[in-house]
Amino acid sequence: MFKLFKKTSQLSKYLIAIMFAVSTLIPSLVSASEADEMAFEEDLAQQIQDFSQELRPLVSEEVEENALYSPLSYYLALLTLEPGLTGSEKEQLSEVLIPEGMDRDEYVASMASFIREATEGDEPIFDTKTYLLGREDLEWNSTYIEDTKDLATEASSVDFKDVSTYESLNEDIAELTEGLIDPYYSVARIAEMTANDYLQLVMMNLLYFKSNWLNVFNEDLNTDETFYGRDDETVVPMMHLEESIPYLEGDGFQAILLPYRNQANLLIVIPDEAADDESMWEAYQSVLEQEEEINNKTIALTLPKFESSGSFDLTNSLDAFDLSNFKEDLGETDFFTTQEETALSQIHQRVELVLDEEGTSAAAVTEINIETTMAPVEEEPIELKVDRPFAYGIIYKDIPLFEGLIHNISE
């Protein structure tokens, strides 16, 4: 037996990723519909992996400490953006989101089915919702609402100038994430949002994962041991487990898949020696590409219990996807019944994760802000000054309850 977490001088910061994936055990006989479903899940997994590979370097650049982000939450937010675009902008985003050669409508329909299945049952894989928040004076385009309704969306018209809009969102986010993200909007951020005269549309994806381990850790076996971090050494609670679990030993790294009760897995990839972020991501990707090489082995696992978080701006990730023009002009859009010149002004993501003896909780919020690119036209107010005789009445359903004339008003 061996310890998975070896004592290594200047051990690099440790890498985790929650894999929203189903079991790889496939029956020898499957129906045509089951085969189609498995084929779609393979396409989706590859698409999200390719999408995430573009994000990883940016995330590493954005953070000074531990890196944690949700590629799926960001992907789902962009997937609800795509139906509202037209022309070349729509084609650009479709190339990023839709597997090459696959019909767009069929893919989105399969994605909607995947979301339903993942979020249903006694032990769902995850829970998700995408809020579509439009400026209150605009009317939603019914076609856009129809095209996104099966992607776990909820559309509403809001007053972006009202503090209560963000307080209400904070409550909804806290409820869906079971308090893991609470609050999302700080007082300072609310002040920033309410002061924005150009905000037209906010798309906000919420993604929440919670599951117990298939084999829980015994808290009584916990020990305080040294974690050899990149910057320093710290004494942390270590959990212990000896089980037969999927394991892979590669060139300069070890990896395990620690199963959850809901069929998801925690993938852990640890280098044999100190490594930079790029090398760790390469090892991580190598494991994803060697799924068939992973076999069950009896492992004496020592794993720290920990919490991690991330909050960063993903706006510049558009450059990696060749979508930098979105920051200047989204072209003609179909979100609302009226047209305004708009641009994608900000993409922000907040992520929280807690891992302990029982299992893992993880939550992400991805926020896409769209603004008008010209100052909103303010109507000149019509002046009405009641300073001379007038008629008045108290009306209920067109029935005059009281009526009168004012000729003079005594001092």
pLDDT band at 20 (very low <50, low <70, confident <90, very high): very low
Placement of tokens 């893919």 in the chain: 107
Cβ burial 239-278 (10 Å sphere, 16+ → b, else e): bbbebebbbbeeeebbbbbbbbebbbbbbbbbbeeebebe
User: Is the residue at 162 inside a domain?
Assistant: yes
User: Is the residue at 233 inside a domain?
Assistant: no
At 38 the pLDDT is 78
CA–CA gap between residue 232 and residue 178 (Å, rounded): 33
User: Is the residue at 3 inside a domain?
Assistant: no
pLDDT at 88 exceeding the cut of 60? yes
CA–CA gap between residue 143 and residue 160 (Å, rounded): 24
More confident residue, 390 or 94: 94
pLDDT at 49 exceeding the cut of 50? yes
CATH of the domain at 27: 3.30.497.10
User: Is the residue at 287 inside a domain?
Assistant: no
pLDDT at 26 exceeding the cut of 60? no
Question: What's 208-257 look like in SS3?
Answer: EEEEEECCCCCHHHCEEEEEECCCCEEEEEEEEEEEEEEEEEECCEEEEE
- For the chain, the 3-state helix, strand and coil shares in percent, each to the nearest 5, are 30, 35, 35
- Which residue, 375, 373, 374, is CA-closest to 330? 373
The strand pairing partners of 297, in sequence order, are: 245
Amino acid at 95: E
Share of the chain above pLDDT 70, in %: 85
Tell me the CB-side half-sphere exposure of residue 4, using CA atoms within 13 A.
28
Which structural domain range is residue 93 located in? 15-213+306-372
pLDDT band at 3 (very low <50, low <70, confident <90, very high): very low
pLDDT band at 91 (very low <50, low <70, confident <90, very high): very high
Please enumerate in sequence order all residues whose Cβ is within 8 A of that of 364, keeping only pairs 6 or more positions apart, or say none.
69, 70, 72, 73, 205, 206, 207, 208, 349, 350, 351, 352
The structure tokens listed for 105 are: 């409508």
Domain count, the chain: 1
CB 219, CB 353: distance < 8 Å: no
At 4 the pLDDT is 38
User: Is the residue at 96 inside a domain?
Assistant: yes
CB 343, CB 147: distance < 8 Å: no
Placement of tokens 């090892």 in the chain: 283
User: Is the residue at 236 inside a domain?
Assistant: no
User: Is the residue at 160 inside a domain?
Assistant: yes
User: Is the residue at 350 inside a domain?
Assistant: yes
Minimum mean pLDDT among 35-49, 78-92, 166-180, 334-348: which range? Answer: 35-49
CA–CA gap between residue 397 and residue 253 (Å, rounded): 76
